[in-house]
Chain A
Amino acid sequence: TQLLEQSPQFLSIQEGENLTVYCNSSSVFSSLQWYRQEPGEGPVLLVTVVTGGEVKKLKRLTFQFGDARKDSSLHITAAQTGDTGLYLCAGARGGYTGNQFYFGTGTSLTVIP
């Protein structure tokens, strides 16, 4: 059982459309990260959110951390073909040895020109 569930699992949209990806859990996290991964490469960190209710914007990408720090969303405005990739959320929980990260199930996004 995955600690973090992402939805949708697959998403195919036309260039210029908007979309939202969700990352949900029943557990509380001290922080949450979003990554984008392209085929054959490692994930690249996009953003870290720490405070419940926090909203961060990265150009056309908007990230929100839920008030209870159990969920997050990623909204992309006017998607471009360069946004194509696998989007992963990862929640951090602090064990005594330091933060442990739990990755979500992933959302594969394809933006069609």
Chain B
Amino acid sequence: KAGVTQTPRYLIKTRGQQVTLSCSPISGHRSVSWYQQTPGQGLQFLFEYFSETQRNKGNFPGRFSGRQFSNSRSEMNVSTLELGDSALYLCASREGAAGLGYTFGSGTRLTVV
């Protein structure tokens, strides 16, 4: 069974640009969540999608958005990048609403210069 796949693994962008990150969950997992991880803040929840609908949202500005497709694949977009957006972005999937833990992807390391 393939794991959670995130692309790209590394990304360097310039301040002010926008970026799209992709996540393919484990087959059969309909819930996809996104997290931002930085050394200072740890793992911060961005949002969760379930069956193409955003179900939960963390405390991030509107520059951070996401979507989920009918095949459960998900994308997140960050517009008008800031230096502080440099982080490891992690995607995680789980089975349905009563899951007892996540399976994480390897993450996308975003560096904003």
Contact = CB atoms under 8 A, between A and B. Distances in A.
B4 A45 contact: no
Q: Which 10 A-B pairs have the closest CB atoms?
A: A98-B97, A42-B104, A103-B43, A48-B100, A45-B101, A97-B55, A33-B101, A48-B101, A43-B104, A42-B90
Contacts, number: 65
B98 A99 contact: yes
Interface of B: 4, 31, 33, 35, 42-43, 45, 48, 50, 55-56, 90, 92, 96-107, 109
Q: Is the interface of A mostly helix, strand, loop or mixed?
A: strand
Contacts of B42: 2, 88, 103-106
Given A33-B101, A35-B104, 5 more contacts: A41-B107, A42-B90, A45-B101, A98-B96, A101-B33
Given A88-B43, A106-B42, A98 B55 contact: yes
Number of contact residues on A: which range applies? 20 to 34
24 contacts: A31-B100, A33-B100, A35-B104, A40-B109, A42-B90, A42-B106, A42-B107, A43-B90, A44-B104, A45-B103, A88-B42, A97-B97, A98-B50, A98-B55, A98-B99, A99-B99, A100-B56, A101-B33, A101-B102, A103-B35, A103-B42, A103-B43, A103-B45, A106-B42
A31 B102 CA distance: 13
Interface of A: 2, 31, 33, 35, 40-45, 48, 50, 88, 90, 92, 95, 97-106
